[in-house]
Structure 1
């Protein structure tokens, strides 16, 4: 049994604090998650009208899966994002491209913003990518955001994701993009060179 506060990854950010990632705990986290996914900003999550029970059922399926897992991200021990990691070859996404065993997909949902912090979303996003590439089984990260989700496209491209094509999924037209360890490293080097 995983303990509630068992971290899988953490990173200290100068001037911000410590971002840590721990497994999602359905019993204690579901009410908080329901309050996030039913707010207008979370429209791309596709759960605006879902009841607490419906969200719980969906996340119980994820937690019962061997190939799909959810995590809560914390800033200085305060929950600030949800992250999902899934094995691409075992997901519906595998029908849309030639998957490799080392491909893992991710989904990210930020908590509602209480106060704006400069570069905060980028710090969260890059911590998540650092986590993925810290795992020995991950060589490439796959994303399939809604084509209209401009905010996530900006973050993806900043991190070195290369966009391949648009695909039709059950609930959206998605942009399929990939990030390798090398493309991420090159993107970080470019940001450093540009002083960002």
Structure 2
């Protein structure tokens, strides 16, 4: 387990215990995540043309704002994904819906894998959701992926997100969706065994 990693509570058998998260350490982690954002499948993140320095600056500015947090996710001790969470009240999204107390916006990105693992991205998202509810105390998780990103819409539905419809944001047309703890745990209970 990485130093200072936060292990996930395991109230449900469907949560893989091999996932851990820790706060992003920009100086050491940017060299890991920058190449991930250059991958073909990263185009929805709009960071493919950013240099390593620009990626570092983006995170330094966002983290310095006090309204965004970022975490490095590990699988069996190896870097596997990044998760960002933010306060929608301080984001353009907050002007597009009625923000409620306890709302937490979220983005996640899964790094490339040397060996495919069945349902890996779904399990990453389950780990992220458990972390947001259990460790960060979110009352509702808010997502706004690009409306064309059908793969992530399907994943979001699998973990309990309820779609609200399209919203116009500065860089994209997004599909707004919400997930409560009850929605998430119901999705786990309704899932088939792995």
Pairing partner for 1:7 from 5, 8, 30:
5
**C-alpha separation between the residues in 1 aligned to 2:92 and 2:108?**
18
The answer (yes or no) to whether the contact 1:81–1:109 under 8 Å persists in 2 is yes
The answer (yes or no) to whether the contact 2:37–2:47 under 8 Å persists in 1 is yes
**C-alpha separation between the residues in 2 aligned to 1:8 and 1:190?**
26
The equivalences for 1:39-188 within 5 A come to 39-135=39-135, 137-188=137-188
Deviation at 1:43, TM superposition (A): 0.6
The answer (yes or no) to whether the contact 1:19–1:76 under 8 Å persists in 2 is yes
Query: CA distance change for structure 1 residues 55 and 137 in 2, over 3 Å: closer, same or farther?
Result: same
**C-alpha separation between the residues in 2 aligned to 1:75 and 1:49?**
27
Counterpart secondary structure, 2:117: coil
**C-alpha separation between the residues in 2 aligned to 1:188 and 1:89?**
29
Which has the bigger relative contact order, CA under 8 A and spacing at least 6?
A: 2
**TM-score, normalised via structure 2 length:** 0.91
Q: Which stretch has the larger CA shift, 5-14 or 59-68?
A: 5-14
Q: What CA RMSD, in Å, does the superposition of the two structures yield over aligned residues? A: 2.0
Q: Which runs of 5+ in 1 are unaligned?
A: none
Deviation at 1:10, TM superposition (A): 3.1
Cα deviation digits, residues 56-107 of structure 1 (max 9, x gap): 1101012212120111000111000000011122222110000012000110
**C-alpha separation between the residues in 1 aligned to 2:56 and 2:78?**
21
Cα deviation digits, residues 28-59 of structure 1 (max 9, x gap): 01111111111111111101111111111101
**TM-score, normalised via structure 1 length:** 0.90
Deviation at 1:157, TM superposition (A): 0.3
Query: CA distance change for structure 1 residues 88 and 8 in 2, over 3 Å: closer, same or farther?
Result: farther
The answer (yes or no) to whether the contact 1:89–1:100 under 8 Å persists in 2 is no
Aligned length: 191
